[in-house]
């Protein structure tokens, strides 16, 4: 693998982590009711996907790394 695709992939992962982080911090200030509503929405969305047998998109490298970091925090 040459140098430039590696650098571009690294920058893409960093961009994904930054956007995930910027979305995470405001969520920490949400009320319990807002959190419960979001969880309910996501469960309904998952049930919709399972009912219609739609395959969700695969995680990219940045999303995998952000999930790993979030698991370490929690």
Confidence tier at 59 by pLDDT (50, 70, 90)? confident
pLDDT-derived band at 72 (thresholds 50, 70, 90) equals confident
Q: What is the pLDDT of residues 15-48, one digit of tens each?
A: 888 887 788 777 777 788 888 888 888 898 888 8
CB 16 within 8 A of CB 63: yes
Name the pLDDT band for 1 (thresholds 50, 70, 90). Answer: low
| Euclidean distance between CA atoms 12 and 74, whole angstroms | 25
Average per-residue pLDDT for the chain: 81
What's the token pair of residue 16?
A: 């994904």
What is the Cα–Cα distance from 52 to 50, expressed in whole angstroms?
6
d(CA 15, CA 9): 10
Question: How many Cβ atoms are within 10 Å of 61's Cβ, its own excluded?
Answer: 13
Cα 59 to Cα 13: distance, rounded to the nearest angstrom? 12
């Amino acid at each position: 693998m040459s140098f430039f695709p590696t650098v571009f992939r690294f920058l893409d992962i960093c961009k994904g982590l930054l956007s995930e982080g910027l979305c995470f911090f405001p969520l920490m200030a949400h009320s319990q009711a807002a959190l419960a509503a979001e969880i309910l929405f996501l469960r309904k969305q998952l049930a919709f996907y399972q009912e219609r047998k739609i395959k969700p998109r695969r995680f990219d490298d940045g999303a995998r790394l952000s999930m790993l970091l979030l698991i370490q925090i929690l």
